[in-house]
């Protein structure tokens, strides 16, 4: 394995600028890594080798011709894109059978920006179908596995992006966060994930789940890399009517000049304590100590209405999703299924949506249809919108007392595959700490806070700031990251075990995934060859989270 792939995006930008490496060499190293470990992880649904290498070669030529100064600092640094974000020339499936084989005729705005910065796109990453889930197990193409322990979930919905970055398949990735889908996988995999302020990054070309909650954001290994990537993809976009008029600035600067002296940091009483795994609480209070030592004042604040946030979210999100997903009807795009008997369009729609959508998507569409239906609208959707006001007021009151808020990102560490698949409610509880930020539109960042002592799995620390104050997350996050890394003697991912082969695949993996690299058959071979070996070293970890 090339050591190059372990470098941060910031370091890689420096190595490319100084000519110590080339983008082709770096992109090849990432592709090699994908070929080596993705048979276990299933983080990628599509690998875009040819185009990525062509972009890399173009960047190298420009640098060789002395035109490096005109290039974006991240030019030549490869990136992976969550398969909810549309890309020309590559399939976009949203993790759904509905869009199997569909290729978008246009690029998402963030993808246009990546192309303008000449960042090679390595491929599309796996996710829960239409980003609905917290474990990546709801993908129609098999689950993604956690690089720390392949028998566990990598979080979701953006488990593919987080696993790809954690396993050094890509230095950077894009995710989308509707209720925690960037931050929760970040916590599960020991990586950094940021949900920018709502409207800070254009949503144009992100297949919508809940339009008033969805936000595209960076998935990285360091706080500074996250700031760099957010500056690439952020800014006003006329194609997204909810896009903020002014760009969020000073993010990289904030990450490079981390400082918490004199800052007031609020511990949210409602996001912690009972129901949170002991090892998570332990790492969280350690982070508070480090921030206190660095000069911050830690105070407790109460946001009483956060207790209703999960309930409000599970009414607002399905309501918006049921409307947004109505377009998948087998007429304009995606697959069409013809029922037996007369083929009227209504019957075709019913059959198409029955076959095309998975269980979780159907559950949310039905729930949303219910919440919006006559007689229930005021009771459910109306009440949820009022709770949204109360959650915003809680944030406003809290930010009058403190500069940023802090909490564990998730109540537990990564749980075993399959554990919560038959219990939707237990699955939903994963997002209890991340949802309030989406309801209020404020920015949130999760960074690795160490390993829980009972299971040696990553714990995430979440920072929340007022709307448009994304720079604060980076200023505080950079300090906490450097204090923790000082303690660990390096980045947390240096402690991650080698990616293990998968022992017994519980789910049929990627039957429909498209790989233009010829690595699909290699993967199957690798899996078969290593199966026996793997059985011998199969994990026997019995420790689990204190709650579900």
Partner 1 sequence: MSTLRRGQVAHLARLAHIDMSDEELDRMSGELDVIVDSIKSISEAAGDDVPPTSHPLPLTNVFREDVVGQTLSNEEALSGAPDSADGRFKVPAILDED
Number of alpha carbons in the 13 Å side-chain half-sphere of residue 103: 5
Provide Rg for the chain, Cα atoms.
Answer: 22
Number of residues that bind partner 1 (CB under 8 A): 75
- Chain centroid to CA 540: 28
Tokens read off for 493: 């991912």
115 lines the binding site for partner 1 (CB under 8 A): no
Q: Minimum distance from CB of 367 to partner 1 (Å)? A: 6
> Within 409-428, which residues bind partner 1 (CB under 8 A)?
424-425, 428
DSSP state of 414: P
Alpha-carbon gap, residue 428 to 491, rounded angstroms: 30
Shortest Å, Cβ 193 to partner 1: 19
Residue 353 contacts partner 1 per CB under 8 A: yes
Query: Catalytic annotation on 157?
Result: yes
Closest distance to partner 1 from the beta carbon of 168 (Å): 34
Beta 121-125 vs 79-82: how paired, if at all? parallel
247 binds partner 1 (CB under 8 A): no
**H or E element at residue 297:** strand 297-301
Shortest distance, position 162 Cβ to partner 1, whole Å: 24
The enclosing H or E element of 463 equals strand 458-464
Give the separation between CA 318 and CA 446, rounded to whole angstroms: 25
Copy the structure tokens of residue 22: 């080339």
- Smaller CB separation from partner 1, 427 or 496: 427
- Cα 45 to the chain's mean position, in Å? 15
Residue 441 found at the interface with partner 1 (CB under 8 A): yes
Per the CB < 8 A criterion, the answer to whether 123 and 90 are in contact is yes
Residue (147 or 196) nearer to partner 1, CB: 196
- Residue number with CB closer to partner 1 (288 or 337): 337
3-state SS, 482-534, equals: HHHHHHHCCCHHHHCCCCCCCCCCCCCCCCCCEECCCHHHHHHHHHHHHHHHH
Question: Taking contact as CB under 8 A, which single stretch among the options 30-38, 58-66, 294-302, 342-350 is the one that binds partner 1?
Answer: 342-350
- According to the binding rule CB under 8 A, does residue 85 interact with partner 1? no
Site for partner 1 in 443-482 (CB under 8 A): 467
**Contacting partner 1 within 302-341 (CB under 8 A):** 305, 308, 310-312, 314-315, 322, 326, 329-336, 338-339
Question: Residue 432 interacts with partner 1 (CB under 8 A)?
Answer: no
Query: Any contact of residue 246 with partner 1 (CB under 8 A)?
Result: no
- Indicate the residue among 289 and 354 with the shorter CB distance to partner 1: 354
248 CB-side CA count, 13 A: 33
**H or E stretch at 81:** strand 79-82
In total, the chain counts a number of residues equal to 548
State which residue, 366 or 524, has the beta carbon closest to partner 1.
366
Residue 330 or 449 with smaller CB distance to partner 1: 330
Site for partner 1 in 210-239 (CB under 8 A): 212-213, 238
Near partner 1 by CB under 8 A: residue from 84, 254, 296, 387: 387
CB of 165 to partner 1, least distance (A): 27
**370 near partner 1, rule: CB under 8 A:** yes
Q: Peptide bond preceding 441: is omega within 30 degrees of 0, i.e. cis?
A: no
390 counts as binding partner 1 under rule CB under 8 A = yes
Backbone angles phi, psi at 450, to 5 degrees: 110, -170
Q: Is 404 in the site for partner 1 (CB under 8 A)?
A: no
Nearest approach, Cβ of 424 to partner 1 (angstroms)? 6
Q: Based on the shown chain and the rule CB under 8 A, indicate whether residue 114 belongs to the binding site for partner 1.
A: no
Residue 348 or 515 with smaller CB distance to partner 1: 348
CB-based contact 154:161 (threshold 8 Å)? no
Question: Is residue 488 within the footprint of partner 1 (CB under 8 A)?
Answer: no
Q: Which region, judged by CB under 8 A, interacts with partner 1, from 34-42, 185-193, 246-254, 386-394?
A: 386-394
Q: Footprint of partner 1 on residues 21-50 (CB under 8 A)?
A: none
How far apart (Å, rounded) are the C-alpha atoms in residues 420 and 422? Answer: 6
Interface with partner 1, residue 250, by CB under 8 A: no
Burial class (CB in 10 A: 0-12, 13-18, 19+), 116: exposed
Token pair in block for residue 504 = 């017994």
User: Which tokens in the block code for residue 324?
Assistant: 């947004």
- For the bound state, the minimum distance from the C-beta of residue 198 to partner 1, rounded and expressed in Å, comes to 5
CA-CA distance, 126 to 173, in Å (whole number)? 12
Asked if 363 is part of the footprint of partner 1 (rule: CB under 8 A), the reply reads: yes
With b meaning 16 or more CB within 10 Å and e meaning fewer, what string describes 285-297? ebbbebbeebebe
Query: Is residue 440 a contact point for partner 1 (CB under 8 A)?
Result: yes
Q: Residue 216 in 3-state DSSP?
A: strand
Nearest approach, Cβ of residue 156 and partner 1 (Å): 18
Catalytic residue among 161, 181, 202, 407: 181
Half-sphere exposure of 240 (CA within 13 A, CB side): 27
User: Cβ closer to partner 1: 87 or 104?
Assistant: 104
> Does residue 396 touch partner 1 according to CB under 8 A?
no
By CB under 8 A, is residue 377 in contact with partner 1?
Answer: no
Q: Under the criterion CB under 8 A, does residue 105 sit at the interface with partner 1?
A: yes
User: Would you count residue 116 as binding partner 1 (CB under 8 A)?
Assistant: no
Active site residues: 82, 157, 181
């Amino acid at each position: 394995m090339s050591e190059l792939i372990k470098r941060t995006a910031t370091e890689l930008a420096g190595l490319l600028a100084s000519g110590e490496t080339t983008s082709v060499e770096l992109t090849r190293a990432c592709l090699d890594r994908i070929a080596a470990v993705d048979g276990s992880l299933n983080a990628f649904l599509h690998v875009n080798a040819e185009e990525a290498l062509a972009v890399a070669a173009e960047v190298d030529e420009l640098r060789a011709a002395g035109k490096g100064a005109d290039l974006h600092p991240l030019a030549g640094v490869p990136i992976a894109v969550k398969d909810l974000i549309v890309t020309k020339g590559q399939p976009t499936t949203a993790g759904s059978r509905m869009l199997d084989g569909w290729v978008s005729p246009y690029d998402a705005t963030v993808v246009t920006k990546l192309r303008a910065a000449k960042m090679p796109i390595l491929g599309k990453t796996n996710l829960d179908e239409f980003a609905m889930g917290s474990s990546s197990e709801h993908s129609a193409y098999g689950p993604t596995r956690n690089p720390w322990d392949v028998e566990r979930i990598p979080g979701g919905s953006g488990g593919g992006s987080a696993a790809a970055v954690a396993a050094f398949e890509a230095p950077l990735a894009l995710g989308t966060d509707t209720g925690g889908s960037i931050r929760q996988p970040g916590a599960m995999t020991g990586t950094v994930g940021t949900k920018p302020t709502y409207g800070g990054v254009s949503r144009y070309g992100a297949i919508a789940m809940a339009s008033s909650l969805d936000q595209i954001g960076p998935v990285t290994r360091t706080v500074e890399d996250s700031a760099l990537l957010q500056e690439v993809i952020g800014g006003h976009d006329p194609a997204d009517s909810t896009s903020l008029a002014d760009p969020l600035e000073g993010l990289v600067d904030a990450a490079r000049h981390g400082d918490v002296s004199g800052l007031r940091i609020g511990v949210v009483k409602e996001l912690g304590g009972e129901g949170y795994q002991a090892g998570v609480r332990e790492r969280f209070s350690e982070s508070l100590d480090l921030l206190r030592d660095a000069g911050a004042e830690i105070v407790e604040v109460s946001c009483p209405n956060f207790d209703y946030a999960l309930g409000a979210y599970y009414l607002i999100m399905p309501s918006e999703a049921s409307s947004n997903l109505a377009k998948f009807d087998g007429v304009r795009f995606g697959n069409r299924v013809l029922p037996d008997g007369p083929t009227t369009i209504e019957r075709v729609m019913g059959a198409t949506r029955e076959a095309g959508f998975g269980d979780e998507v159907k559950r949310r569409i039905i729930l949303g249809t219910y919440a919006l239906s006559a007689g229930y609208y005021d009771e459910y959707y109306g009440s949820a919108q009022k709770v949204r006001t109360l959650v915003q007021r809680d944030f406003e009151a809290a930010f009058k007392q403190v500069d940023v808020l802090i909490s564990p990102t998730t109540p537990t560490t990564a749980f075993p595959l399959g554990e919560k698949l038959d219990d939707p409610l237990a699955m939903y509880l994963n997002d209890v700490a991340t949802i309030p930020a989406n309801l209020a539109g404020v920015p949130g960042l999760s960074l690795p806070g160490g390993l829980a002592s009972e299971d040696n799995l990553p714990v995430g620390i979440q920072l929340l700031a007022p709307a448009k104050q994304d720079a604060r997350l980076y200023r505080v996050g950079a300090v906490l990251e450097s204090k923790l890394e000082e303690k660990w003697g390096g980045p947390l991912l240096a402690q991650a075990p080698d990616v293990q082969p998968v022992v017994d695949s519980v789910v049929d993996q990627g039957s429909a995934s498209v790989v233009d690299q010829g690595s699909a058959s290699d993967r199957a071979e690798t899996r078969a060859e290593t199966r026996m070996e793997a059985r011998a070293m199969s994990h026997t970890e019995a420790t689990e989270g204190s709650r579900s």
